[in-house]
Amino acid sequence: MINTRKAISRRTLLRGAGAAFALPLLDAMIPASTSLAETAAAPTQLRRLGYVYIPMGFNPADWTPHGETLNELPFTLQPLESIRDQTAVVSGLELRNAYPGSHATSNSAFLSAATARRTESSDYYLGTTVDQIAAKHLGQHTQLPSLELAMDLLDNAGQCDNGYACVYQNYLSWSSPTSPLPAEAHPRLVFESLFGEGGSTADRREALQRRASLLDAVTSEMRRFKLQLGANDRNRFDDYFESIREVEKRIQRAESNVNENPLPDLDRPVGVPAEYAEHARLMFDLQLLALQGDITRVVSFQLAREASTRTYPEIGVSDPHHPVSHHGKNPEKLEKLSKINQFHVSLFAEFLEKMAACPEGNGSLLDHSLYLYGSGMGDPDAHDHTDLPIIVAGGAAGNMQGGRHVVYEKHTPMANLHLSLLNKVGIEMDSFSDSTGPADELFEPLSL
C-alpha cells in the first residue's frame, strides 16, 4: 500500500500572543514516500556553522597534544574527553593580516582574515566575515540569517587599542567591510529575538508584565499540534519545549535576583546572571535552542572580550585575565592562564555534550553541525598571531575525522580552514581572504 501522508512543513511555527516557536526536526516532517536512504540523509541538508571566540591566546604547554591523536588530552583540553571523537585540535595556523600584533586585530581578523584599517574614527574598514558569507547561503530560509552573541555588554567608542577604533575589538561579525554587527549579551533579549515579539526594550518589558511565560501563550496550539504526531515525535517535541521553558525560568530567576547582582556595571540591563559561568551556559543554551529549532544555522559567540580584565575566582584566579596573559614566562602566571583556558574550554565542552545528546534524524545535532573555537592570538605575551589555539568540533555528517591533532606547516593561513569549513557545509568557494587552498586534512582518514 502506498502511504500518501503529507509531511508537516519544516517551517511550521506555533504562534500565540506575540510568541512564535519553531520546531525541532521531527519524523513527521519527512515525506512518507521518502526512501530509507533518503530519510537517513535528509538531516545532513540542515548544515550549521558556529564560531566561538576566546581572547588573549593560550599557554601552548598545557594545550598542545602530543602526536596526531587525542588519546592523551593535555590539561587545558581535558574537558573534551567525553566528546573527543567528534573533536579535532588544530595547530600551525596564522592570521598574517592581523599584524602588527594587537588585541583589536586579533578579534577583527579571527573571522575575516583581513587587515583592519588603522583608525580611531568612524572610517573603519575590515572585510566581510566568514560567518556572514555562510549566513547569506544557509540563512535564506531561516527566521534569522545568523545570531551574534557576546558575554560583555561594554560598547566603547573611539580608540581602544594602539590606534585602532573600538569597533574592531567589540564586533566579531561584519556583514560588509564597513558594517560591523552588534552582538547581544542579554539573555532575555536573545530569547525574545528567537521566540518573542519584537519592539523596543520598553515594549518587551511591558510584554513581560502581561505574561509570565512565552510558552503559556501557545499552550493550546501545542496540545492540538501534538495530536498529529507519533510517539517518538511527541517525546522529542516535549523535550524541546521543556528545554525552552527551563531556559526561560533561568532568565526569570536572574531578573528576580538582579538587586543582589554584585557586578559594578550600573548600566547592565536587568536579567544578566551575576556569575560568569551561569551567564555563559545560558548563552550556549540559547544557541542550542536556536539551532535545534532551525531558527538560525549560523552563530558567532564572543566568549570574552580582548583585553578583558575579568577575574575568575570560581577557578581560583583572582587576577584579571589581561595582566595574567602578559606572563613574561612567569610560571605562576602561565599556570593561571592555563586555568582560564581550561575553564573556557569546559564551558564549550558542556555545550558540545548537549548537542551530542540532542537526537536529530540518523544522528545528533552535533553530527550535523560544525563549530570552530579559538583565538586570533597565539602567544599573548608577544601579541603574535601565529600557531593559534583552534578546535573544530562536530561534523560527522560531513565526514570530519575527530579524535585527532592536525598540525599544519607553520604560517598556514587561518583562511584555509575557514574556506574548508564553508565548502563542507555546501558553500563552494575557490578562495577566502589570503587562503592558499582548503584545509581538508580534517576530513581525510588518519594515516596511522
Give the pLDDT confidence of 193-215 residue by residue, as tens digits: 887 654 555 555 555 555 456 67
Which CATH number covers residue 167? 3.40.720
Q: Strand ranges (DSSP E) for 257-382?
A: 298-302, 359-360, 363-364, 369-374
Which stretch of DSSP H or E encloses residue 48?
Answer: strand 48-53
The reply to whether 41 and 52 lie within a common domain is: no
Question: Looking at the domain assignment, is residue 198 inside a domain?
Answer: yes
For residue 366, CA distances in Å to 28, 47, 133, 199, 427 come to 21, 10, 21, 33, 19
Most confident of the following: 23-27, 261-265, 426-430: 426-430
Q: What is the pTM of this model?
A: 0.83
Higher pLDDT, 360 or 71: 71
Considering the domain architecture, whether residues 56 and 30 belong to the same structural domain is answered as: no
Q: In a 3-state reduction of DSSP, which class is residue 360? A: strand
pLDDT digits (tens, 9 = 90+) for 275-329: 999 999 999 999 999 999 888 999 999 999 999 999 999 999 999 999 999 999 9
Question: How does DSSP classify residue 425?
Answer: T
Indicate the number of domains in the chain: 2
Whether 238 is in a domain gets the answer yes
Asked whether residue 166 falls in the same domain as residue 219, the answer is no
Does 325 lie in the same domain as 215?
Answer: no
- Answer yes or no: is 176 within a domain: yes
Mark whether 258 and 303 lie in a shared domain.
Answer: no
pLDDT tier at 20 (50, 70, 90 boundaries)? low
For 187, the enclosing helix (H) or strand (E) is helix 187-195
Take residue 254 and report the three cell numbers written for it. Answer: 536572574
Beta carbons within 10 angstroms of residue 123's beta carbon: 9
∠ CA(289), CA(397), CA(75), 5° rounding?
75
**Residue 100 reports pLDDT greater than 50:** yes
Q: Where are the beta strands (DSSP E) in 79-153?
A: 87-94, 147-150
Say if residue 149 is in the same domain as residue 197.
no
If asked whether residues 326 and 373 sit together in one domain, one would say: yes
Q: Looking up cell 563542507, which residue turns up?
A: 424
Give the pLDDT mean for 429-446: 90
Q: Among 36-40, 144-148, 400-404, whose mean pLDDT is lowest?
A: 36-40
The per-residue pLDDT for 238 is 78
What residue spans of 62-186 are helical by DSSP H?
Answer: 103-112, 130-138, 167-170
Residues 16 and 59 in one domain: no
Alpha carbons 189 and 192: distance in angstroms, whole number:
5
Rounded CA-CA distance 403/83 in Å is 9
Is the peptide bond prior to 79 cis by the omega test (within 30 degrees of 0)?
Answer: no
Structural domain for 412, as ranges: 48-185+298-443
* Same domain flag for 141 and 204: no
Instruction: Calculate Rg over the CA atoms of the chain.
Output: 22
Q: What angle do CA 72, 76, 81 make, to 5 degrees?
A: 45
Are 17 and 56 members of one domain? no
| 91 located within any domain | yes
> What is the b/e burial string over 223-248, where b = at least 16 CB atoms within 10 angstroms of the residue's CB?
eebeeebeeebbebbeebbebbeebb
Strand partners, 19: 16
Co-location of 29 and 52 in the same domain: no
Distance of alpha carbon 11 from alpha carbon 64, whole angstroms: 43
* Separation CA 424–CA 416 (nearest Å): 12
Q: If you write DSSP's letter for every residue of 362-402 in order, what string do you get?
A: TEETTTTEEEEEE-S-S-TTTT--BS--EEEEE-GGGT---
Q: Are residues 76 and 13 in the same domain?
A: no
Interval 184-194 mean pLDDT:
87
The number of beta carbons lying within 10 Å of the beta carbon of residue 94 is: 23
Asked if residues 65 and 77 have their Cβ atoms less than 8 Å apart, the reply is: yes
